[in-house]
Amino acid sequence: MKTSKVLKEERASELTKQQNLISVAKSEKRELSTEDETRFDTLQSNIEDFDVKIERAEKIEASEKRQAASQGKSFGAPAIIKSTKNEQFSLVRSLHALASGKKLTGIDAEVNERGISEMEAQKMEVGDGLRIHLPADMMRAQTITGDSGTKGAAIVASEPQFVMPLTPNIDTLANLGVNQMTGLVGDVPLPTSGLFSFDYVGETADVTETDITFAGPTLKPKRCAGVGGVSNQFLKQASFSVEQHLISIINNAYGAAVVKAFINGGGGTAPSGLYSLITSNIDTTATGPTKAIITELEALVDAANGSNGNRGYLSDTKLANAMKNTLLDAGSGRFLFDGADLNGYKYERSTLMDTLDVGVSHPLIFGDFSQASVGLWGNVSIMVDPYTLASSSKVRLIIEGFSDVAVTNESAFAINKVLTV
């Protein structure tokens, strides 16, 4: 059930939309159109519905407060015990409270309320059940200390201490120069690299506008979820290192899903990965790795006038190991891959890179990875299920985040999907 505070925020949003209709009509010196009138009446109906819901919610909260007072308890709507100075948010403490059937209190409850408000504002589904909803600023590292700042200080210990953010670990992509966009709201259209054109002009000369149609991809929030079990004894721990350990496990698992989707996402409910997005620059030579194969990928990108911002290679670890043992030529004693760069470019290897043809083929990708983006929407929701694994004294955690990947310039990449080792 939504609190009166949340309902009032939603009513305020409807009032703002209604006022905007009136303001636009006034600025254009006209009456409301038929469409405007229909929209106005719908908003008015929504506002009146909120009035009824808010009145009911306030009565329920007042009743709960009176009941709590009669039992000698301090209970203030909306069922949150406010945090004290320097109180630090704890994910482990929050999960343990929910698993024990208790209400979140203090800073843990405040963080959850902010997460709910953000998700509702973005029209994201706020699920039922025992959940902790983490707001966007929990996706970033916090280094604030004491009582400084207006938001972050409350969730950071009074002593200098790094609070690990709950955000997917995608170091492999970051090392290649892939754009990371965090804290997104709604759909995010991306401009292509050819959207703007620059030239030199005189000091007072007009600049000619380039007439280019906007045709870039759009990042859309796609639900990425995972399930795991932790012991009740683990959730009883108060150690900061335990907190870090749990968040690290979640970040690595979430990150692995994002990286796999970036490389070979199947589309639909999942992002589309590079395996399917690269459609122009494809080398179909089925052979073991050679210098000619490597340079052919570079030639394909060059021939397509691919950009040169952050060029690099990406493959699985087995192909990399094969190139460590493949001679560059007959006489130099050098190998294709020396353990650092590949043909002078950055080279990332990942066990998350899918093989093809039942494990026979090991794709190699070359390109300007600054022409690819990973989008991360700010909110993460963790549902606590203390029942399914109760017989083994474990708590089941269902974790949900939202992310997507996109390529703004497909010609900046080339791929060989049929290399063997």
User: What class is the 162-421 domain?
Assistant: alpha beta
Residue 334 CA from chain centroid, whole number: 42
Supply φ then ψ for residue 284, to 5 degrees. -105, 15
What is the pLDDT, as a whole number, of residue 150? 42
Contact indicator for 403, 221 with CB cutoff of 8 Å: yes
Domain boundaries, the chain: 1-78, 162-421
Q: Is 163 helix (H, G, I), strand (E, B) or coil?
A: strand
Q: Are strands 179-184 and 413-416 parallel, antiparallel or unpaired?
A: unpaired
Residue 414 in tokens: 């080339």
| CA-closest candidate to residue 381, choices 180, 260, 227, 172 | 227
Alpha carbons 3 and 60: distance in angstroms, whole number: 9
Burial (Cβ within 10 Å: 0-12, 13-18, ≥19) of residue 374:
buried
The reported pLDDT for the residue numbered 198 is: 75
Residue 368: per-residue pLDDT: 96
Residue 319 tokens read as 């192909």
Question: Shortest CA distance to 409 belongs to which of 109, 259, 195?
Answer: 195
- Dihedral angle computed from the Cα positions of residues 173, 179, 181 and 187, in that order, rounded to the nearest 10 degrees: -110
pLDDT per residue, tens digit, the chain (421 aa), is 778 877 887 888 788 788 877 877 787 788 888 888 888 899 899 899 989 998 888 888 888 777 665 554 443 333 334 444 456 888 899 999 999 988 888 888 888 888 888 887 777 777 778 889 888 766 654 443 444 444 444 444 333 333 456 778 888 999 999 998 887 878 888 876 555 667 788 888 887 766 555 567 899 999 999 999 999 999 988 787 888 888 889 889 999 999 999 999 999 999 999 999 999 999 999 999 999 999 999 999 999 988 888 999 999 999 999 999 998 887 778 899 988 899 999 999 999 999 999 999 999 999 999 999 999 987 788 999 999 999 999 999 999 989 999 998 899 999 999 999 9
- pTM equals 0.69
What is the token pair recorded at 26? 């006034």
Task: Taking the CA atoms of 36, 41, 43 and 47 in sequence, report the sign of the dihedral they define.
Answer: positive
Count of C-beta atoms within a 10 Å radius of residue 56: 13
